Amino acid sequence: MSFSRGLKAKAAKVWEDGYNHPFVQELGKGTLDKEKFKFYLLQDYLYLLQYAKVFAAAALKSDTEELMTGFTTSQYFILANEMNVHRAYMESFGVSQAEMLSVKSSLYNRSYTANMLSYGLTGGLAEVLSAVFPCAWTYADYGKRLKDQYADQLEGNFYKTWIETYASDSFSESFEWFYDALDNLVSTMSDEQRKNIEEIFISSVEFEYLFWDMAYKQQMSYFV
């Protein structure tokens, strides 16, 4: 197994804890409180704007046309495709553009995006890829598994579009290039440097778990 494809196993416990989190499981069952989902949507809207900036920063660091194309294409997919799912759901909640623009980012959201942006601005491309990888990979994995696990309950599920978006081949294909790119970037690294890449990846999986937990509790900070 390549370095990149082996990363999931390195974060196995928190990865599975994320899938088994009540927020994710209730999405699959269609029982998630809509106010919790609305909270998630607004926070994830802010998250994706910062997430897209990390890809822009990485494109500037890229020294090959292939990498530059990968980062810019991924950024476009986030802004033009993934954000459309959010906008459609927010419209169904009657969320106005003004409300979208006025919502404040939670402590957990700011911490996660600040961590990624720090690698985007000061890290190498391997650090950047390992920081952003878990977002796409966990969503694709969870979407596919939810679609399979709750196949007989999907019709009539308010969250069907969300599940099918992340379970789709087009979503998985949007980040398929990550694997080979990261493998190439770490190919000349020492064991110590590779260990650092693993730790960055695991930290982002942990942030993903905290994001689900934050949304389920509708928690803006540690104190509220």
Catalytic residues: 135, 208
Phi first, then psi: give them for residue 222, nearest 5 degrees.
-60, -30
Look at the alpha carbons of 218, 171, 17, 196 in this order and tell me if their dihedral is positive or negative.
negative
Look at the alpha carbons of 59, 62, 67, 69 in this order and tell me if their dihedral is positive or negative.
positive
Residue bearing tokens 């796409």: 136
182 neighbors 3 (Cβ within 8 angstroms): yes
* First-residue to last-residue Cα distance in the chain: 43
C-alpha closest to that of 61 among 143, 134, 131, 126: 126
Q: Which residues of 128-151 are buried (b: 16+ CB within 10 A; e: fewer)?
A: bbbbbbbbbbbbbbbbbebbeebe
d(CA 4, CA 197): 10
